[in-house]
Structure 1
Amino acid sequence: MAVGHSLNPARWRVLLDEAETRVADRFVRAEPRRTAGQFVEGLLSGVERKTCWSLAEQAGHRDPQAMQRLLRTAVWDADAVRDDVRSWLVEQFGHPDAVLIADETGFLKKGVCSVGVQRQYTGTAGRIENSQVGVFLAYVTPHGRALIDRRLYLPEATWCAQPERLAAAGVPDEVEFATKPALARQMIADALDAGVPAGWVTGDEVYGADPGLRADLEDRGVGYVLAVGCDRRVAVNDGRTLIRVDDLAERIPTRQWQQHSCGPGAKGPRDYLWAWITTATRPGEHRWLLIRRNRSTGELAFYLCWSPRPVPLHTLVTVAGSRWNIEELFQTGKGQVGLDHYQVRGWTGWHRFITLAMLALAVLTILAAQQPDPGPDIIALTVAEIRRLLNAFVLAIPLPPEHTLHWSTWRRASQARARRSHYQRRLGYRTRRKVAAC
C-alpha cells in the first residue's frame, strides 16, 4: 500500500474506535457520545478550520447544533475524559524514566469576552497580544510523547478580581487565581497521584523560579532539571557563599566543558557544550547547576538540577533537551488537530474542546509509536503523514453534492443574519449617541 511501510487501515480503524470507546462511559446520553466520536474524527480530518460548523458539515449533520451542545450544555465531564486519555497513553508507552514537561502556549483572540483573555505576552506571537494562555503538561518517553493535562490561566486583576466576569464566563466558584507554576504543580501532582510513571520533570525559567515546585518534587523523590535566569544565585563550596550562576560560568576552565547532544533536531543532533557544578550543601544530596553553552554564539542557559540518586552528566543533558518536545507538541496540536481553532468563550467549552483535541492527538501519537522501523532509506511515518494516510484510507467519507450545497446556503444565511444584527446594533448605538448629545 505504501513503499517502505506495511499499513493496515483496518487496524487503524480499530485504534480510532478504541479511542472513542475509552471515553464512551463519560457520556450519559447516546447523542453526545456519538457526537464526541464524530468531533474527534473531524479534528483528525482534512478540514481546514476545526470549528463546530465545519466539523458538523464533515460529520454529515444538517446544522452545527449537536456539535455546539457537545461543547456547551451536554452532560459529560471533561476532566474524566482527560484522565482516560492520560491512562491510555501511559498504557501505550509509560516508562519509569519518563519526563513530565510543563509549559504554556497562547491562543490569540479578539474581543474581551473569551474566558481568561487579556493583552499579555505570548510566545505564539512573540509579543504582547490579546490572547488566552493555557498551561499544559506533556509526557515524554523513549516510546512516544503526548499532552496529558491542561489548565486555563486566569489573570488575577482582570479576571479573578472580577466575580461578575467569572460568572458570565461560567468559571466554577471554587476556581481561584493560580500562577502558571502553581497550575503546573497541580497537574504534576494529579499525574503522580494517578500512578503515572515518571522519573523527571523539566520546564523553562517560569517554572524553575518557583521554589514550591522544586520542593514538591523533592518530597516525592522525582528528579528535576529546571531552567533559571542568569541572575540566580546558588550555594557553592561551604554552602554559605551565594554566587550568581553567570559568574560561575565565567570561572569554568575550558577543559571542563563537554560536548553532548541533547537530542535529534531537524538538521541533525543538537550539540552544545555543557558543564556542571555540584551545589549540594549536605552529605548525600545530589544537586547540580547545569550550564549549556551554544558552540556558535556562546549564549548560556542555566538549570537547577536535583535527583534522588547519583546520575551522569548525559542524563541531565537529555532531560534538559527533552523540554523542546512540548514546543513541538504545541505545533503539532495546532497544525494537525486544530488545538487553537476553537470558537468558544466559556470555561466549560474551552476545557471540552482542548480535551477532545488532546484525544485526537493521542490517536496520532499512538499510531506513530506503533509503526515499524522502515529502514535506513526512508524516514519513519511522521504524525502529519499518518494523519494524511488516516484520511485517505479510514476517514474518507464521500458526501453528496446536495449536502455541500445545503451547507453553503446555511452558512450564507447565518452570515446574513449576523450582518443584519451588527448593522442594527451599530445603528442603535449611533441613535443613542445622537439622543444623548441633544
Structure 2
Amino acid sequence: MQRLRAGLVGRLRSCFVRTQTWQQATKYVSAVASDLPRRNGWTIAEYVGDRSPDRVQRLLNRAVWDTDAAMSVVRRFVVDELTTAARRRRRGLVVGALDETGQQKRGTATCGVKRQYMGCAGRVDNGINTVHLSYVREGVGHALIGARQWIPAEQIDDVDTAAAMGLPAGLRFGTKGHLAIDICADAYADGVRFDVICGDEVYGGCTQLREFFEQREQAYVLRVACTFMIESGARVRLTCQQAVQQLVGRDQWEVRSAGTGSKGQRWYAWAQIATASPHHVLLVRRHLGTGELAFHYCYQPQGQRAGVTRLIRAAGLRQGYCVNLVTLCDGVDELG
C-alpha cells in the first residue's frame, strides 16, 4: 500500500509549481489515508509532525495547484492499478457508480452550505453535497475517480455571496445530473471505459444524463421513481408502479442475489419488463421481507451483451460499492 501511495504522489508532482506545496500535499495524503479516528487540522498536524494546523490550512485554503490535472492523474492511476490487479482474476464487470455524499457543516460562509437533505444524517440539516463517480471492478476493488461539489443557484446568482465564498467568475448552476455529465465526460476524455454506469433516482430521473450516455453507446442501469413513465411493448404509457401491477403470477419473478453484503448474500425477487424500445427494459427489485419495490431503467446498446443476470450484477455492484465519504471528511470543518 505504501508503494502504491508513493507512486501516486510521485505522479502528482507535475500538478504543483512549488516543491514545498507538493511535499505538504504528500504529508496530507498520508494522514487522510491513515487510520486516524478523527481527521482535523490538529490531528493531521500532529500525525505529519507539524507544530500547528497552519500548513494544512494554507494548503487547503490558499495554495495553488492544477486540481483538474491532479484528478486526471488519480483517475488514470486508479484505472491502471485495478486493471493490473484484474489480470490475475477472471474478468468481471467494470461499473461506474454515480452517487452523492453529504457532509454536515455549521455556519453560512462555506460555498454550497444550505439546509438540505443530508444522507449522512438521515434528515434535513445544514451542510454540503458532493456528486462523485466511483470506478468499480467486480471482484477486485473500487475507488473514487471524479467529483463535483453541488452549489445552490442562489449562491451563484448573488454577486456579493459568490465573491465572499470565492466562487469563480462565470460559474453556472448545474443540477446533480448535469454535474454527473461533467464528471463522466472527464473520465471518457482520460480513456476510462465502463461496461455499465449505475446511479440512484437523482441520476435516473435526469433526461439529459440518460441522453448523454445513449449518444455514447454507454450501457446504464439507473434507479428511477415509481412515477417514472415508460412506454410498454403495447405502446401504452405507464408509470413504473402501473407497469409492475400488470405482472401476474410468481413465475414472472426470479429470486437472485444482488451480491454479498455485510450480512451475507443480498437476496431479492427480480422481474424484467419490456418496453417499446428494443434497447430499454425496466428492471424491478422486490424485497423478500417487506415487499418494497425498487425500479431500474436500463439501456443496452446494439450489439452489447444483454440479459437480466448482467443487469442484476451491475445494480448490485452499485448498491454494494458506492463509497461513503463521511468518515474521510470527518473534522473538515476545522480545515477550512
Fold match by TM threshold 0.5:
yes
The equivalent residue for 1:286 is 279
* Deviation digits for residues 391-433 of structure 1 (CA, Å, limit 9, x no counterpart): xxxxxxxxxxxxxxxxxxxxxxxxxxxxxxxxxxxxxxxxxxx
Identity in percent: 36
1:295 matched to 2:288? The reply is yes
Residue 53 (structure 1) aligned to one of 42, 51, 54: 42
**1:97–1:197: 8 Å Cα contact kept in structure 2?**
no
The equivalent residue for 1:383 is none
The equivalent residue for 1:133 is 129
The equivalent residue for 1:342 is 332
Displacement after TM superposition at 1:57 (Å): 2.0
CA distance, structure 2, for counterparts of residue 209 and residue 340 of structure 1: 30
1:304 matched to 2:292? The reply is no
The equivalent residue for 1:180 is 176
Residue 69 (structure 1) aligned to one of 35, 52, 58: 58
Alignment of 1:60-99 (within 5 A): 60-94=49-83, 97-99=93-95
Q: CA RMSD in A?
A: 1.8
The equivalent residue for 1:317 is 312
Displacement after TM superposition at 1:58 (Å): 1.7
Name the CA shift for 1:96/1:13 in 2 (closer, same or farther; >3 Å).
closer
The equivalent residue for 1:218 is 214
The equivalent residue for 1:373 is none
CA distance, structure 1, for counterparts of residue 55 and residue 317 of structure 2: 40
Alignment of 1:343-362 (within 5 A): 343=333
Displacement after TM superposition at 1:97 (Å): 4.1
Displacement after TM superposition at 1:344 (Å): 6.4
| Structure ID, larger Rg | 1
The equivalent residue for 1:262 is 258
Name the CA shift for 1:245/1:47 in 2 (closer, same or farther; >3 Å).
closer
**2:117–2:123: 8 Å Cα contact kept in structure 1?**
yes
Displacement after TM superposition at 1:46 (Å): 3.7
CA distance, structure 1, for counterparts of residue 310 and residue 18 of structure 2: 48
CA distance, structure 1, for counterparts of residue 4 and residue 173 of structure 2: 39
- More moved, 198-207 vs 70-79: 70-79
* Deviation digits for residues 239-261 of structure 1 (CA, Å, limit 9, x no counterpart): 2x101221221221211101111
1:315 aligned partner, one-letter code:
R
CA distance, structure 1, for counterparts of residue 305 and residue 4 of structure 2: 40
CA distance, structure 2, for counterparts of residue 46 and residue 217 of structure 1: 38
Q: Secondary structure at the match of 1:146?
A: strand
Higher strand share: 2
1:334 aligned partner, one-letter code:
V
Structure 1 runs of 4+ aligned residues shifted over 4 Å read: none
CA distance, structure 1, for counterparts of residue 186 and residue 77 of structure 2: 16
* Deviation digits for residues 186-237 of structure 1 (CA, Å, limit 9, x no counterpart): 1111111211021211111111111111111111011011111111221113
The two structures have a TM-score, normalised by structure 2, of: 0.92
Residue 245 (structure 1) aligned to one of 228, 240, 243: 240
Q: How many residues align?
A: 325
CA distance, structure 2, for counterparts of residue 144 and residue 40 of structure 1: 20
1:63 aligned partner, one-letter code:
S
**1:114–1:344: 8 Å Cα contact kept in structure 2?**
no
The two structures have a TM-score, normalised by structure 1, of: 0.71
Displacement after TM superposition at 1:96 (Å): 8.8
**1:134–1:153: 8 Å Cα contact kept in structure 2?**
yes
Name the CA shift for 1:13/1:260 in 2 (closer, same or farther; >3 Å).
same
Higher helix share: 1
The equivalent residue for 1:145 is 142
**2:259–2:320: 8 Å Cα contact kept in structure 1?**
no
Name the CA shift for 1:238/1:48 in 2 (closer, same or farther; >3 Å).
closer
CA distance, structure 2, for counterparts of residue 66 and residue 131 of structure 1: 25
CA distance, structure 2, for counterparts of residue 44 and residue 228 of structure 1: 34
CA distance, structure 1, for counterparts of residue 75 and residue 216 of structure 2: 20
**1:140–1:325: 8 Å Cα contact kept in structure 2?**
no
The equivalent residue for 2:165 is 169
CA distance, structure 2, for counterparts of residue 288 and residue 165 of structure 1: 45
CA distance, structure 2, for counterparts of residue 76 and residue 96 of structure 1: 36
CA distance, structure 1, for counterparts of residue 190 and residue 245 of structure 2: 43
